[in-house]
Chain A
Amino acid sequence: MNNNSLLRIVFKFIIIWLLQIVVLKQIQFWIGPYHYEVFVYPLFILLLPAGMQINLLLIVAFATGLIMDGTYNSLGVHASSSLLLAFSRSRILNWVIPRGMDESAAPSLKRLKLLPFLRYVAVALLLYLVFYYSMVFFAPAFFVDIIVKSLLSFVVSMIFILILSGILNGLD
């Protein structure tokens, strides 16, 4: 990991973080009685280099989650979800592209092409959201709310993430 790629990662983080905090956090998303949140910042964890050392990845994801917790005032909820996402990322990648890829590069839209990238992000985001809402509700009794909110958030988050991936393509 050279300085150049580190700079790119930081830059990506700032863009994603700004979109998350300045835009998405300010909008209230409602469908019927369900209020849900839209997240694009998991994309940052997904776009970290594929060959990144797993422990470092866990620490970075945990820190990212903590920063989000700071702004969402939900200490621990985002941290745990990001951590799970980072932990299962390599498994999802292996499953989506079994032939492997350039380890130093980010598994981005440009590298993976549209369909594999879609599958990669979709599986990871769904896992992330279900875990996130489980941590928010924190009881199996709210099973229906967890699933409904995850799915609602999934659809809208996917749209934003795809747009953002298109923008970030220029950075690769």
Chain B
Amino acid sequence: MNTLLQLLYRVNHRALFLLLMLMSIFMIVRNNEAQGKIFWNSTGMVFGLFSSGANSVWSYFNLSRENEKLQREISVLRGQLAQDQYNNELVRDTLQKVDSNRIQIYEYIEAKVINNSVDKPKNYLTLNRGSRHGVKENMGVITADGILGVVRYVSPNYCQVMSILHTDTRVSAQVKGKDVVKGFYGSLVWNGSDPSMMYLMDIPKHNKISSKDDIVETTGFSTYYPPGVSIGKVFYHEIPPGSSNHLIKVKLNVNMSNVRYALIVVNKHADEIKQLEARVKDEQ
């Protein structure tokens, strides 16, 4: 008892006071309903204030990233424009003949993403362009970074795009080495879980996939996407035991959860190609 008292005497009395005070205030908040409510409400208010402040700070960070993206998009578009002008000049002045040989197949309609989801097994995006702007069903949608999906439903002002993050998605894609053109193609599918990863299927195992960072791009075999649009990089690949095909995990370039701008691909020959292919189907 005496040693206990001596131990107690040696403690700093201010520290002891603070400790006991905190204990009693903790008891008040825990055991008295009215005080507890006031306490939790006011701490909630303080934290709410804090988190809304943090939110606005974060949105500023996003702003700069958004700006960067816009700049990039602008630079891409500018580049295309300059190229077009150069080509036209060239064609008009010197190679008159080529003029008729070069026909533009793909045109782009710029659009803004106004709704998006990545958390469901079947995801859709909504864009602010519709039939009034020339959007039709089954047009592909891309961004500066990669591909987004295919237009499914069109209204006068808006369209619904079946995201590539959709379990029914099949995109014809090929692996292109960093330096060499490899050109193995297969179909790109999504397994419904990670919105930054897709799987490239059906590439026979005798093809060599050497580098981890091999680029995966569109083939242009469908009428949806122009050829050579980069989709992502090989993240991981293996040949599952007993399988004759590679299983390739592809890391997407585009962050599907924060896309803001998109380009809708207008394939001017889509109808012609489809009609032609339909005739073959009739035959079968």
For the complex, would chain A's binding face be called helix, strand, loop or mixed by DSSP majority?
A: helix
A56 with B8: in contact, given A65-B24, A83-B17 (CB under 8 Å)? yes
Total chain A interface residues with beta-carbon distance under 8 A: 22
A125-162 interface bits toward B, Cβ cutoff 8 Å, 1 = contact, 0 = none: 00000000001101100000000000000000000000
Which of A5-13, A19-27, A32-40, A73-81 lies at the binding interface? A73-81
B101 at the interface (CB under 8 A from A): no
One of B13, B16, B28 near A76 (C-beta < 8 A): B28
Q: Which residues of B contact A2 (CB under 8 A)?
A: none
Q: Which residues of B contact A75 (CB under 8 A)?
A: 27-28, 30-32
A53 with B38: in contact, given A79-B24, A79-B27, A138-B28 (CB under 8 Å)? no
Are A55 and B27 within 8 A (Cβ)?
Answer: no
A87 with B17: in contact, given A56-B5, A138-B38 (CB under 8 Å)? yes
A76 with B34: in contact, given A53-B9, A56-B8, A87-B17 (CB under 8 Å)? no
B18-41 interface bits toward A, Cβ cutoff 8 Å, 1 = contact, 0 = none: 001101111111111011001100
Are A56 and B21 within 8 A (Cβ)?
Answer: no
Query: Nearest chain A CB to B91's CB is how many angstroms away?
Result: 79
A58-83 interface bits toward B, Cβ cutoff 8 Å, 1 = contact, 0 = none: 11001001000100001111011001
Q: How far is the CA of A62 from the CA of B9 in the complex (A)?
A: 16
A59 with B24: in contact, given A54-B13, A75-B31 (CB under 8 Å)? no
Q: Which residues of B contact A80 (CB under 8 A)?
A: 21, 24-25, 28
Q: Which residues of B contact A (CB under 8 A)?
A: 5, 8-9, 11, 13, 16-17, 20-21, 23-32, 34-35, 38-39, 42
